[in-house]
Structures are given as structure tokens and as C-alpha cells.
């Protein structure tokens, strides 16, 4: 299962090379939130909340550690059929289901904590799917999402490669004869 997800269902560089494809998905999700949930988007922006700090983990783990087991298993089932497009739908649905409540909150910390924890309480997966597959129509096609993600993924990958190059360069330029720092070795005292 895991090999299929990594090699077939997710784009290359999703789980490697600086997670560039996963980061790209988050930019596309932000765009979808802006278009599909404009009031919530404005509220999050005005409170300096970057929802992708939470949703990034949702995508990387396919909601495994975010939702109750039964809900998560249903989402994985749909994911295996629909592909990663369902990750966008489900993320938007979670936010939509609790949009009114989030809009009523004024403290950024409270908002962030609520978004972080709310998925753990979604036991009615039918309601979640109803919102996911009915409330956001028209929803971008799989190819449209992939084509929106690709330029961002390429940019993130190039930036990652540049950071690696700079790191290697700085390591090469570091003085070779650095004075060695004394190491602290803790030796447990054994009593027999």
C-alpha cells in the first residue's frame, strides 16, 4: 500500500527532495480556500493564520493522524480511487463544516488550535463527503490541480537544490584545521 501511494498515486518529490511537491499542494490549497471559502480566507489572513501549517501534515499523512480511524479509512478508500484530489476536497470540507465557528473566533491562537484539533472529532464521514463532493462544484479536475502544482513544485525543488549547493559550499569553505572542541562523555557509574 505505502509503496503504491509513494510511487504511483503521489507526484515525484512528494516525500523527498525537500517535500517540494507537497509544498506545492499547499499553495494550490490556499488558492482553493481563497476561491471556495473567501470569508474564511479573509478571516484567517486578518488573524495571520497560515492554515497550511496544519494541512501540510494532513496531506503528508493522508489524514492518518488527523481523523478518527473509521473516517480516515473511508478517506483512504476514496483516495485510492480518486487520487490526491480528494485531499484537497476533504481539507476544504473540514474547514467548511466548521467555518461559522472559526469565523466567530477572534484570538489567533484559539483559531489555530481549533483547526489543528477539529479533524479529530469528525465521526460523520458521510456529512464530510457530502460537503466534499457537493458544495465545491465545480471543482478543478485532477489534471488541472496537477498542472497548477507543477510550477510550484519545480520552484520549490530548485530552491531546495540551491540551499543544498550553498550548504555544501559552506562546508567546503570551512577551515579544515578547526580546533577540536573537547567532547563531553558521560560515563554512568555502575554499582554492582
Which whole number is the average pLDDT over 160-164? 86
Write the burial class of residue 4 (CB in 10 Å: 0-12 exposed, 13-18 middle, 19+ buried). exposed
- Number of domains, the chain: 1
pTM score of the predicted model: 0.79
Nearest one of 23, 9, 31 to 152, comparing CA atoms? 23
What φ, ψ does residue 119 adopt, rounded to 5°? -60, -30
CA distance to 59, 60, 138, 142, 175, per residue, from 54 (Å): 9, 10, 25, 23, 41
Does a structural domain hold residue 15? no
Does a structural domain hold residue 43? yes
Per-residue pLDDT, 75: 94
Choice among 63-67, 136-140, 186-190 with the minimum mean pLDDT: 186-190
Write the burial class of residue 2 (CB in 10 Å: 0-12 exposed, 13-18 middle, 19+ buried). exposed
What pLDDT digit, counting tens, does each position of 89-146 carry? Answer: 999 999 999 999 999 999 999 999 999 999 999 999 999 999 999 999 889 888 888 8
Question: Domain span at residue 71?
Answer: 21-149
Does a structural domain hold residue 56? yes
Does a structural domain hold residue 26? yes
Does a structural domain hold residue 179? no
Does a structural domain hold residue 154? no
Find the CATH number of the domain harbouring 127.
1.10.472.80
Does a structural domain hold residue 133? yes
Per-residue pLDDT, 152: 83
Per-residue pLDDT, 134: 94
User: Residue 191 has what DSSP assignment?
Assistant: -
Which whole number is the average pLDDT over 56-78? 93
Could you tell me the pLDDT band of residue 187, with boundaries at 50, 70 and 90? very low
Does a structural domain hold residue 3? no
What pLDDT digit, counting tens, does each position of 122-131 carry? Answer: 999 999 999 9
Q: Mean pLDDT of all residues in the chain?
A: 87
What pLDDT digit, counting tens, does each position of 2-22 carry? Answer: 676 777 778 877 887 788 889
Amino acid at each position: 500500500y505505502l509503496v503504491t501511494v509513494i510511487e504511483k498515486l503521489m507526484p515525484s518529490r512528494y516525500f523527498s527532495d525537500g517535500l517540494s511537491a507537497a509544498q506545492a499542494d499547499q499553495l494550490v490549497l490556499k488558492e482553493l480556500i481563497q476561491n471556495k471559502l473567501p470569508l474564511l480566507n479573509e478571516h484567517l489572513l486578518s488573524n495571520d493564520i497560515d492554515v497550511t501549517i496544519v494541512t501540510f501534515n494532513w496531506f503528508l499523512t493522508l489524514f492518518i493522524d488527523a481523523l478518527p480511524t473509521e473516517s480516515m479509512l473511508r478517506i483512504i478508500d476514496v483516495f485510492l480511487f480518486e487520487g490526491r484530489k480528494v485531499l484537497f476536497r476533504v481539507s476544504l470540507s473540514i474547514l467548511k463544516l466548521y467555518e461559522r465557528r472559526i469565523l466567530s473566533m477572534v484570538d489567533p491562537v484559539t483559531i489555530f488550535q481549533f483547526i489543528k484539533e477539529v479533524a479529530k472529532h469528525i465521526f460523520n464521514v458521510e456529512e464530510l463527503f457530502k460537503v466534499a463532493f457537493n458544495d465545491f462544484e465545480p471543482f478543478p479536475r485532477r489534471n488541472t490541480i496537477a498542472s497548477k502544482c507543477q510550477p510550484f513544485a519545480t520552484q520549490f525543488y530548485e530552491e531546495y537544490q540551491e540551499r543544498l549547493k550553498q550548504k555544501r559550499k559552506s562546508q567546503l569553505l570551512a577551515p579544515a584545521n578547526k580546533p577540536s572542541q573537547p567532547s563531553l562523555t558521560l560515563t554512568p557509574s555502575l554499582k554492582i
